[in-house]
Amino acid sequence: MIKFFTKSAIIAAAMFTSVSGFAADSFKIDTDGAHAYIDFKISHLGYSWISGRFNTFEGDFSFSQDNPSDAQVSVTIDATSLDSNHAERDKHIRSADFLETDKFPSASFKSTGFNYTGDGKGVLTGDLTLKGVTKSIEIEVSHIGQGDDPWGNYRSGFLGETALTIADFGITQPYLPADMQVFLELGVEGIRQ
């Protein structure tokens, strides 16, 4: 269940990149260099936290310096790459009880809008598809910085945070509260193409 939400988080992270107000450019999320991540945490019985990540995802984003609200983000996540650092728990989260990755091996996010509030911050909205269910979500985004790297590339990076109610994506169990949430943190660094 936790990993399933993380997937959503990964899609949301890609949306964060649209916060910036740069000239119209296209960026590829730098997963090859491991400069992006989708982390999650979820309560374990109300006593502690379980944390994890999605190890495999890809995506891109674009934005215009003159029109940040026109930014676009698209991300695809390999749901089977869910990793909570515990093999048996990961197997259970991938099962039909939670993410059902045999039937839904990937998740996706596509932005639908961006509300820039100033000072490099804003709220990214978009459609997250997880376990075959598509819902609109909001991600709070902060621009970390941008510029040239030592290898001749131009990079831009963002941080995003959101919370998802897992039942909204068809993840329910009798022992889980109906309003249980998973918290996602998305770190996105893109290379201009």
Task: Give residue 162's pLDDT.
Answer: 97
CA 153 to each of CA 100, 141, 149, 156: distance values in angstroms, whole numbers, following the listed order: 39, 23, 5, 10
SS3 content of the chain, % helix, strand, coil (to 5): 20, 50, 30
Q: How far apart are the first and last CA of the chain?
A: 35
Out of 7-21, 98-112, 137-151, 166-180, least confident range = 7-21
Task: Tell me the pLDDT band of 118, cut-offs 50, 70 and 90.
Answer: confident
pLDDT at 11 (0 to 100): 42
User: Torsions phi, psi of 95, nearest 5?
Assistant: -75, 175
User: pLDDT at residue 5 above 50?
Assistant: no
The enclosing domain of 16 has a CATH number of: 2.40.128.110
Share of the chain above pLDDT 90, in %: 73
Two structure tokens written together for 79: 């749901």
pLDDT category at 18 given cuts 50, 70, 90 is very low
Residue 120 zone, left/alpha/beta (φ > 0; ψ -120 to 50; rest)? left
**Structural domain of residue 58, as residue ranges?**
2-192
How many beta carbons lie within 10 A of that of residue 140, not counting itself?
Answer: 17
Model pTM score: 0.84
Mean residue pLDDT of the chain comes to 87
Model confidence at 58: pLDDT above 80: yes
pLDDT at position 120, please?
A: 83
- Residue-wise pLDDT for 68-111, tens only, equals 788 789 999 999 999 999 999 999 999 999 999 999 999 999 99
pLDDT attached to residue 64: 64
Query: What's the total number of domains in the chain?
Result: 1
